[in-house]
Amino acid sequence: MSEAPIVLVTGSAGRIGRAATAELQARGYRVRGFDCVPTPDLKDSMVGNLTDEEAVRRAVEGVHTVIHLAATPDDDDFLTQLLPNNLLGVYHVLESARLAGARRLILASSGQVVWWQRQRGPLPIKGDDPPTPRGWYAVAKVFLEAAGRMCADSHGMSVIAVRLGWCPRSREHVEELAALDWAKDVYLSPGDAGRFFACAVEAPAETRFDVVYATSLPVRRAMYDLDTAKQLLGFEPRDRWPQGVEEYSAPPT
Ligand SMILES: NC(=O)c1ccc[n+]([C@@H]2O[C@H](COP(=O)([O-])OP(=O)(O)OC[C@H]3O[C@@H](n4cnc5c(N)ncnc54)[C@H](O)[C@@H]3O)[C@@H](O)[C@H]2O)c1
């Protein structure tokens, strides 16, 4: 499938990046990875940093769609982590993608953007409910979403921002998730994460700007509106907690 458009996945070596690249490759896409550490099992992958504008420019060359995942994935020191990785990195990726003529951006936001509505309701939370960010990590995701909206409105790009559920990165995350009732309603299995990003790549070209949620099937009740991702992108989760945790090296017994 040498004529297939190239999909760039930043953060390709990470938890969700590996799930997305595996699903896209299985569907026949040409996938290019970009990460500050090597990406296993991906031939076309670059090692580079989001803070290096030239490296990002090289990564987006000839790319049709950018899935932007690379970031510090939770609250951390603002000046040394969030500022370079989650703010400057967003600027470099989105601006380079625009200049290179990429048509679609798929941006990894977080449920932490609507954290306080999750505590206070009303539920399920919709994509156009106002942000109620938890901390500076979530504030940086609000910036990411606003930057995506600007690329759609001012530059005619097709942009999908996804507020992702909780896809554990470690055995410790799995244990933490297992101990929290609410967390099982926002659990996102690696399989559903991969399928979500493939659906977003395959969404109709006329998609302009949407904020959607991606989780696996809730155990008790839906915290987020999952109907919009189904209607717009055809994404329907298949897993429910704890399906998918067997992918971790030592799953709970
Ligand atoms: N996993 C979750 O539960 C979850 C939930 C909501 C949102 N997200 C978002 O999804 C995305 C992926 O998260 P993940 O769980 O796969 O995290 P991860 O830490 O497993 O992957 C992130 C990847 O980005 C790379 N990276 C970080 N800074 C970089 C930089 N400056 N330059 C180049 N590469 C860099 C890391 O090396 C890593 O491989 C992140 O944007 C995160 O904020 C994740």
Kindly state whether residue 253 falls inside one of the protein's structural domains.
no
Q: What token pair was written down for 106?
A: 């798929």
**What does the pLDDT look like over 48-64, one tens digit per residue?**
999 999 999 999 999 99
The C-alpha atoms of residue 206 and residue 161 are separated, in whole angstroms, by 15
- Give the chain's domain count: 1
**pLDDT for the residue numbered 1:** 46
Domain assignment present for residue 219? The answer is yes
Tell whether 157 is covered by a domain: yes
pLDDT at 249 over 60: no
Q: Does 45 reside within a domain?
A: yes
Specify if 134 maps to a domain. yes
* DSSP E strands, 16-90: 30-35, 45-47, 63-68
Confidence of residue 134 (pLDDT cuts 50, 70, 90): very high
3-state secondary structure of 110: strand
Question: Among 23, 50, 69, 113, which is best to mutate for testing ligand 1, by the most ligand atoms less than 8 A from CB?
Answer: 69
**Is 47 within the bounds of a domain?**
yes
Q: Is residue 213 part of a domain?
A: yes
Query: What domain range includes position 44?
Result: 6-246
pTM, rounded to two decimals: 0.97
Q: What is the mean pLDDT of the chain?
A: 96
Residue 253: pLDDT over 70: no
- CB of 13 within 6 A of ligand 1: the answer is yes
Residue 251 lies in a domain: no
CATH number, residue 40: 3.40.50.720
